[in-house]
């Protein structure tokens, strides 16, 4: 069985509300994403629970702070067994470099740009993202969270691209403005897709019919 290159987004307040989906998705997808809401609600124990169940864990906290705080938070994430961790590129080169130097084990650092998928991508924002991605590349971090519109350009700089804003064909984009289909994202260079509502709302299709 081929594992789909997908992180399932656990966007909620308790891990329990996702147990049904996690049971169904085990062995079908690459990993899970823990966001700020769930991490604050349940604390570090949510990472420990997921790791005990054998999940690859992407901790999406979008760290944005002074260098030492980012460094120590990265060390703490490594000690928890986190596999992927997000840091705002706007934190600056010193913070990115220190985080990269301080990570342990197989932890991958993912830079986050100003281009959230809830924003419309205009020329000014594209220019800012290009500048931020260039900085992240110079700091030699592992990869970036890349909006669909920037995939081709970013794939020339990074081997690891994680893409949110993924929707099935004919599906509502909801609060997202920068979106694409799973197949299109992979064809344009994405390594992993982040999907939450799309999977929850179309679970049977995802498990039984959907292919990449």
Q: Do 52 and 28 touch, CB atoms closer than 8 A?
A: no
Q: What angle do CA 170, 18, 63 make, to 5 degrees?
A: 85
Range name among 29-33, 51-55, 141-145, 175-179 with the lowest pLDDT average: 175-179
Taking only the tens place, the pLDDT of each residue in 40-83 is 999 999 999 999 999 999 999 999 999 999 999 999 999 999 99
Taking only the tens place, the pLDDT of each residue in 8-34 is 999 999 999 999 999 999 999 999 999
Q: How far apart are CA 123 and CA 1, in angstroms?
A: 42
Q: What is the pLDDT of residue 180?
A: 92
CATH fold of 4-208 reads TIM Barrel (3.20.20)
Q: Do 166 and 188 touch, CB atoms closer than 8 A?
A: no
Residue length of the chain:
212
Taking only the tens place, the pLDDT of each residue in 89-138 is 999 999 999 999 999 999 999 999 976 655 566 788 888 889 999 999 99
Q: What is the pLDDT of residue 175?
A: 57
Domain parsing of the chain, residue ranges: 4-208
pLDDT band at 170 (very low <50, low <70, confident <90, very high): confident
Residue among 62, 101, 103, 177 flagged as catalytic: 62
Q: What is the pTM of this model?
A: 0.93
Q: Is 62 annotated as catalytic?
A: yes
Q: How far apart are CA 29 and CA 196, in angstroms?
A: 12
- Cβ burial 153-164 (10 Å sphere, 16+ → b, else e): ebeebbebbbbb
Q: How far apart are CA 61 and CA 43, in angstroms?
A: 12
pLDDT at 189 over 60: yes
Q: What is the pLDDT of residue 171?
A: 72
- Cβ burial 69-101 (10 Å sphere, 16+ → b, else e): ebbebbbebbebbbbbbbbbbbbbeebbbbbbe
Kindly write down the DSSP assignment for every residue of 130-192, as one continuous string.
HHHHHHHHHTT-SEEE--GGGHHHHTTT-SEEEE--B--TT---TT-SS-B-HHHHHHTT-SE
Q: What is the pLDDT of residue 120?
A: 63
**Mean pLDDT, all residues of the chain:** 92
């Amino acid at each position: 069985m081929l594992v789909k290159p997908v992180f399932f987004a656990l966007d909620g307040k308790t891990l329990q509300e996702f147990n049904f989906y996690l049971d169904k998705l085990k062995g079908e997808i690459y990993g899970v994403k823990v966001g700020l809401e769930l991490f604050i609600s349940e604390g570090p124990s949510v990472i420990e629970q997921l790791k005990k169940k054998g999940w690859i864990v992407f901790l999406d906290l979008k760290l944005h702070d002074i260098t030492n705080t980012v460094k120590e938070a990265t060390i703490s994430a490594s000690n928890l067994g986190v596999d992927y961790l997000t840091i705002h590129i706007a934190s600056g080169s010193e913070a990115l470099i220190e985080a990269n130097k301080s990570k342990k084990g197989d932890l991958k650092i993912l830079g986050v740009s100003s281009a959230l998928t809830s924003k419309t991508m205009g020329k000014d924002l594209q220019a800012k993202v290009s500048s931020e991605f260039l900085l992240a590349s110079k700091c030699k971090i592992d990869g970036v969270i890349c909006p669909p519109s920037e995939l081709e350009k970013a794939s020339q700089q990074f081997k690891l691209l994680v893409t949110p804003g993924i929707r099935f064909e004919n599906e509502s984009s909801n609060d997202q403005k920068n979106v694409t289909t799973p197949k299109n994202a992979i064809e344009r260079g994405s390594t992993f897709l982040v999907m939450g509502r799309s999977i929850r709302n179309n679970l049977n299709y995802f498990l039984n019919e959907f292919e990449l």
